[in-house]
Amino acid sequence: MWTVVYIATNSITAEKIRDKLSQEGVLVTLRAVGASPLGESRSVEVLVPEGEIEEAHEIISETIGK
């Protein structure tokens, strides 16, 4: 089952996190949340399989700290 491990405020941040997780061998997918009047997503959920939550949190902490 896929679990949300982070909610990014924009797609650029979400893609940065997705790329880093993928580089570290973590399966990851993104899901847009809501939509602005122009049709662009406001927030983006970063999801990983349940078994990779802890590893994903560690990687995300390192990634957003940079």
Specify the CATH number for the domain of residue 17: 3.30.70
Question: Phi first, then psi: what are they for 21, rounded to 5°?
Answer: -60, -45
Question: What is the C-alpha separation between 42 and 61, in angstroms, rounded?
Answer: 22
**pLDDT tops 70 at residue 65:** yes
Domain coverage including residue 51: 2-64
Segment 17-39, tens digit of pLDDT: 999 999 999 999 999 987 666 65
Q: Are 6 and 65 in contact (CB under 8 A)?
A: no
Count how many domains the chain has.
1
What pTM, to 2 d.p., does this model score? 0.87
- What is the model's pLDDT at position 64? 85
* Greatest CA separation for the chain: 36
Question: What is the C-alpha separation between 42 and 46, in angstroms, rounded?
Answer: 13
- What is the model's pLDDT at position 22? 98
User: H helices within 1-66, ranges in order?
Assistant: 11-23, 53-64
Query: 52 in helix, strand or coil?
Result: helix
Quote the mean pLDDT of the chain.
91
**pLDDT tops 80 at residue 54:** yes
**pLDDT tops 90 at residue 42:** no
